[in-house]
Amino acid sequence: MAARTRAARSKYHQPLLGTCYLHTVIDDHSRVAYVEAHDDETKETSAAVLRNAVAWFAERGVTVQRVLSDNGGAYRSFLWRDTCAESASPLSEPGPADPRPTGRSSGSTAPWSRAGRSKVLRSETARLAALPAWIHLYNYHRPHSAIGKRSPITRLDNLAGHHT
């Protein structure tokens, strides 16, 4: 009897086709964004992204003072708590009914999945290829209303003159 192979499925038994999770870390002061695309949103991946983001921000002169995250499972884990402690950052947890810190960045990354306003990027490869340009646009050129219509990178004093 031949063994039947099955495609990977979610916990709801749906096929895992084209699923990509954008792990996004945003500096509250500057609104500069750090983004990594991964195939999952596990506690291990989330903790690794936090470590990478802390190092990336440190290279730009940003010191993490505290971490405010979503209240999803990965962010309630002991691994997440320990990773926050490694970065000398206390973990600030939103209350269960607090609508502000959702941990989602759909507002900042939604336009990334479209090339302009009319063309939809229909493949995962095209979307991932467009992501670095969108993050660059977001960090260096897009005016942000919370910081006086300036681009986020302008709030990081040590980067003046480093943009080409």
Q: Which pLDDT score is estimated for 17?
A: 62
Q: Which pLDDT score is estimated for 24?
A: 94
Instruction: Please check whether residue 81 is in contact with residue 92, taking contact to mean a CB–CB distance below 8 angstroms.
Output: no
For the chain, give percent helix, strand, coil, nearest 5. 40, 15, 45
Instruction: Please check whether residue 47 is in contact with residue 75, taking contact to mean a CB–CB distance below 8 angstroms.
Output: no
Q: Which pLDDT score is estimated for 12?
A: 75
Distance (Å, whole) CA 50 – CA 114: 27
Q: Which pLDDT score is estimated for 92?
A: 65
Tens-digit pLDDT string for the chain (164 aa): 444 445 567 777 776 666 788 999 999 889 999 999 998 999 999 999 999 999 999 998 888 888 888 888 999 999 999 999 888 666 665 555 555 544 444 444 455 554 454 466 777 888 889 899 999 999 999 888 888 898 999 888 655 455 44
Residues 6+ apart with CB under 8 A from 150: 143, 144
User: 3-state class of 92 per DSSP?
Assistant: strand
The whole model's pTM is what? Answer: 0.73
Q: Which pLDDT score is estimated for 49?
A: 96
Among the listed residues 65, 62, 72, the one whose alpha carbon sits nearest the alpha carbon of residue 102: 72
